[in-house]
Protein backbone atom coordinates (compact mmCIF):
# COMPACT_ATOMS: atom_id res chain seq x y z
CA UNK A 1 0.00 0.00 0.00
CA UNK A 2 1.34 3.39 -0.95
CA UNK A 3 1.36 5.84 1.87
CA UNK A 4 0.46 9.38 0.97
CA UNK A 5 2.77 11.98 2.46
CA UNK A 6 -0.18 13.75 4.06
CA UNK A 7 -0.97 10.57 5.96
CA UNK A 8 2.43 10.36 7.60
CA UNK A 9 1.73 12.95 10.30
CA UNK A 10 -1.51 11.12 11.13
CA UNK A 11 0.26 7.77 11.50
CA UNK A 12 2.88 9.50 13.62
CA UNK A 13 0.15 11.02 15.79
CA UNK A 14 -1.56 7.65 16.18
CA UNK A 15 1.79 6.11 17.10
CA UNK A 16 2.35 8.82 19.72
CA UNK A 17 -1.14 8.33 21.11
CA UNK A 18 -0.62 4.59 21.36
CA UNK A 19 2.71 5.17 23.01
CA UNK A 20 1.32 7.55 25.60
CA UNK A 21 -1.74 5.36 26.16
CA UNK A 22 0.42 2.34 26.79
CA UNK A 23 2.70 4.22 29.12
CA UNK A 24 -0.38 5.25 31.11
CA UNK A 25 -1.35 1.60 31.44
CA UNK A 26 2.03 0.34 32.53
CA UNK A 27 1.65 -1.65 35.70
CA UNK A 28 3.45 -0.78 38.89
CA UNK A 29 4.43 -3.80 40.94
CA UNK A 30 4.84 -4.38 44.64
CA UNK A 31 8.23 -3.05 45.75
CA UNK A 32 10.48 -5.19 47.86
CA UNK A 33 10.39 -4.62 51.54
CA UNK A 34 14.01 -4.08 52.45
CA UNK A 35 15.92 -2.73 55.38
CA UNK A 36 13.93 -4.74 57.85
CA UNK A 37 17.04 -4.95 60.01
CA UNK A 38 17.08 -1.13 60.20
CA UNK A 39 13.77 -1.21 62.06
CA UNK A 40 14.33 -2.20 65.65
CA UNK A 41 11.59 -3.24 68.03
CA UNK A 42 10.82 0.26 69.25
CA UNK A 43 10.76 1.72 65.76
CA UNK A 44 8.56 -1.11 64.61
CA UNK A 45 6.06 -0.52 67.43
CA UNK A 46 6.02 3.22 66.69
CA UNK A 47 5.48 2.60 63.01
CA UNK A 48 2.74 0.09 63.70
CA UNK A 49 1.03 2.62 65.98
CA UNK A 50 1.31 5.24 63.25
CA UNK A 51 -0.30 2.87 60.80
CA UNK A 52 -3.11 2.16 63.26
CA UNK A 53 -3.65 5.92 63.60
CA UNK A 54 -3.90 6.19 59.84
CA UNK A 55 -7.52 5.07 60.24
CA UNK A 56 -10.04 6.83 62.47
CA UNK A 57 -11.31 5.00 65.54
CA UNK A 58 -14.97 4.68 66.50
CA UNK A 59 -18.05 5.92 64.68
CA UNK A 60 -17.80 8.85 62.29
CA UNK A 61 -19.70 10.71 59.63
CA UNK A 62 -17.83 12.41 56.81
CA UNK A 63 -19.15 14.66 54.08
CA UNK A 64 -16.83 15.17 51.11
CA UNK A 65 -16.99 16.80 47.75
CA UNK A 66 -15.90 14.11 45.32
CA UNK A 67 -14.50 14.97 41.91
CA UNK A 68 -14.79 11.84 39.80
CA UNK A 69 -12.60 11.74 36.71
CA UNK A 70 -12.55 8.92 34.17
CA UNK A 71 -9.53 7.96 32.12
CA UNK A 72 -11.14 9.53 29.04
CA UNK A 73 -11.26 12.91 30.78
CA UNK A 74 -14.99 12.91 31.47
CA UNK A 75 -16.11 13.31 35.02
CA UNK A 76 -18.44 14.93 37.48
CA UNK A 77 -18.46 16.33 40.97
CA UNK A 78 -20.79 14.94 43.61
CA UNK A 79 -21.20 15.11 47.38
CA UNK A 80 -20.50 11.96 49.33
CA UNK A 81 -21.67 11.02 52.81
CA UNK A 82 -19.80 8.23 54.57
CA UNK A 83 -20.84 6.83 57.93
CA UNK A 84 -18.51 4.45 59.75
CA UNK A 85 -20.24 2.45 62.44
CA UNK A 86 -17.95 -0.34 63.57
CA UNK A 87 -17.59 -2.63 60.61
CA UNK A 88 -20.78 -1.26 59.08
CA UNK A 89 -20.33 1.25 56.31
CA UNK A 90 -23.07 3.55 55.02
CA UNK A 91 -22.60 5.61 51.92
CA UNK A 92 -24.65 8.14 49.96
CA UNK A 93 -23.77 10.06 46.83
CA UNK A 94 -25.61 13.23 45.94
CA UNK A 95 -25.44 15.67 43.10
CA UNK A 96 -24.16 19.12 43.99
CA UNK A 97 -27.82 20.13 44.00
CA UNK A 98 -28.64 17.59 46.68
CA UNK A 99 -30.38 14.79 44.83
CA UNK A 100 -29.49 11.39 46.19
CA UNK A 101 -28.08 9.30 43.36
CA UNK A 102 -26.83 6.35 45.32
CA UNK A 103 -27.32 5.02 48.84
CA UNK A 104 -26.04 1.75 50.23
CA UNK A 105 -25.02 -0.04 53.41
CA UNK A 106 -22.21 -2.54 53.56
CA UNK A 107 -22.23 -4.81 56.57
CA UNK A 108 -21.85 -8.50 56.03
CA UNK A 109 -23.62 -7.99 52.73
CA UNK A 110 -24.09 -5.03 50.43
CA UNK A 111 -27.56 -3.53 50.52
CA UNK A 112 -28.27 -0.85 47.93
CA UNK A 113 -31.36 1.17 48.82
CA UNK A 114 -31.17 3.70 46.00
CA UNK A 115 -29.24 3.72 42.75
CA UNK A 116 -30.12 6.02 39.89
CA UNK A 117 -28.43 6.03 36.49
CA UNK A 118 -25.50 6.18 35.91
CA UNK A 119 -24.96 4.73 39.39
CA UNK A 120 -27.33 1.79 38.99
CA UNK A 121 -24.76 -0.68 37.72
CA UNK A 122 -24.24 -3.45 40.33
CA UNK A 123 -20.53 -3.55 39.49
CA UNK A 124 -20.32 0.15 40.18
CA UNK A 125 -22.00 -0.30 43.56
CA UNK A 126 -19.63 -3.07 44.60
CA UNK A 127 -16.60 -1.18 43.31
CA UNK A 128 -17.61 2.04 45.03
CA UNK A 129 -18.23 0.41 48.38
CA UNK A 130 -14.97 -1.49 48.08
CA UNK A 131 -13.14 1.78 47.46
CA UNK A 132 -14.86 3.47 50.41
CA UNK A 133 -14.05 0.47 52.59
CA UNK A 134 -10.39 0.63 51.55
CA UNK A 135 -10.17 4.35 52.22
CA UNK A 136 -11.77 4.37 55.66
CA UNK A 137 -11.55 0.97 57.27
CA UNK A 138 -8.33 -0.69 58.43
CA UNK A 139 -7.35 -3.97 56.74
CA UNK A 140 -8.87 -7.01 58.37
CA UNK A 141 -5.37 -8.31 59.03
CA UNK A 142 -4.46 -6.96 62.43
CA UNK A 143 -0.68 -7.11 62.48
CA UNK A 144 1.29 -5.77 59.52
CA UNK A 145 4.90 -6.35 58.63
CA UNK A 146 6.94 -3.21 59.20
CA UNK A 147 10.04 -2.15 57.35
CA UNK A 148 11.42 0.18 54.76
CA UNK A 149 11.39 0.46 51.00
CA UNK A 150 14.64 0.71 49.10
CA UNK A 151 14.61 4.51 49.41
CA UNK A 152 14.26 4.31 53.18
CA UNK A 153 10.54 5.15 53.29
CA UNK A 154 8.92 3.44 56.30
CA UNK A 155 6.06 1.11 55.42
CA UNK A 156 3.46 -1.11 57.04
CA UNK A 157 2.56 -4.04 54.82
CA UNK A 158 -0.69 -5.97 55.26
CA UNK A 159 -1.22 -9.32 53.56
CA UNK A 160 -4.94 -9.79 53.09
CA UNK A 161 -6.73 -13.12 53.00
CA UNK A 162 -8.09 -12.21 49.57
CA UNK A 163 -4.56 -12.08 48.13
CA UNK A 164 -4.37 -8.30 48.18
CA UNK A 165 -1.41 -6.55 49.73
CA UNK A 166 -1.72 -3.10 51.26
CA UNK A 167 1.22 -0.79 51.92
CA UNK A 168 0.82 2.29 54.11
CA UNK A 169 3.64 4.75 53.66
CA UNK A 170 4.54 8.03 55.31
CA UNK A 171 6.37 10.89 53.62
CA UNK A 172 8.53 13.44 55.40
CA UNK A 173 6.00 16.23 54.71
CA UNK A 174 3.50 14.37 56.94
CA UNK A 175 1.38 13.28 54.02
CA UNK A 176 0.71 9.57 53.73
CA UNK A 177 -0.40 7.17 51.09
CA UNK A 178 -1.77 3.70 50.71
CA UNK A 179 -0.96 1.42 47.80
CA UNK A 180 -3.06 -1.66 47.15
CA UNK A 181 -1.69 -4.53 45.06
CA UNK A 182 -3.65 -7.37 43.54
CA UNK A 183 -2.80 -11.07 43.79
CA UNK A 184 -0.55 -10.66 40.70
CA UNK A 185 1.37 -8.01 42.71
CA UNK A 186 0.40 -5.18 40.33
CA UNK A 187 -0.86 -1.97 41.89
CA UNK A 188 -4.63 -1.61 41.58
CA UNK A 189 -5.31 1.38 43.82
CA UNK A 190 -3.34 4.26 45.23
CA UNK A 191 -4.72 6.61 47.88
CA UNK A 192 -2.90 9.81 48.82
CA UNK A 193 -3.97 11.53 52.04
CA UNK A 194 -3.29 15.26 52.26
CA UNK A 195 -2.58 17.29 55.38
CA UNK A 196 -4.68 16.44 58.40
CA UNK A 197 -6.88 18.60 60.62
CA UNK A 198 -7.79 17.85 64.25
CA UNK A 199 -11.38 16.77 64.84
CA UNK A 200 -12.53 15.20 68.13
CA UNK A 201 -8.97 14.27 69.16
CA UNK A 202 -8.21 12.61 65.84
CA UNK A 203 -6.42 13.85 62.76
CA UNK A 204 -8.63 13.80 59.67
CA UNK A 205 -7.21 14.20 56.15
CA UNK A 206 -8.50 17.29 54.37
CA UNK A 207 -8.06 15.64 51.00
CA UNK A 208 -7.96 12.08 49.73
CA UNK A 209 -7.08 11.15 46.18
CA UNK A 210 -7.83 7.64 45.02
CA UNK A 211 -6.43 6.48 41.71
CA UNK A 212 -7.67 3.22 40.23
CA UNK A 213 -5.17 1.74 37.78
CA UNK A 214 -5.88 -0.12 34.57
CA UNK A 215 -7.74 0.24 31.32
CA UNK A 216 -10.87 1.55 33.05
CA UNK A 217 -8.95 3.65 35.52
CA UNK A 218 -10.40 6.63 37.31
CA UNK A 219 -9.53 9.16 39.94
CA UNK A 220 -11.59 10.26 42.93
CA UNK A 221 -10.49 13.49 44.57
CA UNK A 222 -12.25 13.87 47.91
CA UNK A 223 -12.21 17.17 49.77
CA UNK A 224 -13.48 17.20 53.33
CA UNK A 225 -16.59 19.29 53.94
CA UNK A 226 -17.38 18.09 57.46
CA UNK A 227 -16.37 15.39 59.93
CA UNK A 228 -18.47 14.42 62.94
CA UNK A 229 -17.72 11.85 65.59
CA UNK A 230 -21.04 10.15 66.29
Partner 1 sequence: MRSLLIVLFLCAGLGYFHQGQAVELTGRSPVRVESVQTEFTQEKHLPILVRPIISKGTFVFQAPGSLRWEYLAPIHSVLLLHDGRIRKFIEQNGKFVEESGMGVDSMQIILQEITGWLDGNIADTPTFHATVQENGIILLTPKEPALAKIISRIELRLADQSGLMESVVLYEGADSLTKLIFAHAVLNAKIPAVTFTQP
51, 84, 90, 167: which one binds partner 1 (CB under 8 A)? 90
Please report whether residue 103 would count as binding partner 1 according to CB under 8 A. Answer: yes
Please report whether residue 86 would count as binding partner 1 according to CB under 8 A. Answer: no
Residue 112 CB, nearest approach to partner 1 (Å): 14
Closest by Cα among 217, 181, 189, 183 to 29: 181
Torsion of CA 27, 28, 29, 31, to 10 degrees: 170
User: Judged by CB under 8 A, which stretch of 11-19, 47-55, 62-70, 190-198 contacts partner 1?
Assistant: 62-70
Buried b (16+ CB within 10 A) or exposed e, 193-222: bbebeebeebebbebbbbbbbeeebbebbb
Residue 192 CB, nearest approach to partner 1 (Å): 16
Cα 114 to Cα 117, 186, 200, distances in angstroms: 10, 33, 31
Residue 218 CB, nearest approach to partner 1 (Å): 12
Please report whether residue 58 would count as binding partner 1 according to CB under 8 A. Answer: no
Please report whether residue 211 would count as binding partner 1 according to CB under 8 A. Answer: no
47, 51, 92, 129: which one binds partner 1 (CB under 8 A)? 92
Please report whether residue 98 would count as binding partner 1 according to CB under 8 A. Answer: yes
Cα 212 to Cα 182, 215, 220, distances in angstroms: 12, 9, 8
Please report whether residue 197 would count as binding partner 1 according to CB under 8 A. Answer: no
Please report whether residue 207 would count as binding partner 1 according to CB under 8 A. Answer: no
Residue 169 near residue 149, CB atoms below 8 Å: yes
Please report whether residue 61 would count as binding partner 1 according to CB under 8 A. Answer: yes
Q: Kindly give, in sequence order, each residue whose CB lies less than 8 Å from that of residue 58, ignoring residues fewer than 6 positions away.
A: 84, 229
Residue 92 CB, nearest approach to partner 1 (Å): 6
CA 71, CA 212: separation in Å to the nearest integer? 10
Please report whether residue 74 would count as binding partner 1 according to CB under 8 A. Answer: yes
Residue 70 CB, nearest approach to partner 1 (Å): 8
Please report whether residue 99 would count as binding partner 1 according to CB under 8 A. Answer: yes
Strands 187-193 vs 88-95: parallel, antiparallel or unpaired: unpaired
CA 134, CA 49: separation in Å to the nearest integer? 19
CA 217, CA 220: separation in Å to the nearest integer? 10
Please report whether residue 110 would count as binding partner 1 according to CB under 8 A. Answer: no
Contact residues for partner 1, defined by CB under 8 A: 61, 63, 65, 67-68, 74-77, 79, 81, 83, 90, 92, 94-101, 103, 114, 116-118, 225-226, 228, 230
Amino acid sequence: MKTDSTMKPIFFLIFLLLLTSCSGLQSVYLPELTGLEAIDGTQSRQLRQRCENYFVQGSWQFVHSIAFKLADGNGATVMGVTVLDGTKLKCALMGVEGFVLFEAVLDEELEVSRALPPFDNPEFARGLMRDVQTIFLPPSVQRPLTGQLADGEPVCRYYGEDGKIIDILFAEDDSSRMNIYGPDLSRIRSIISGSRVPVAAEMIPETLELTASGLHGYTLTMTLISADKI
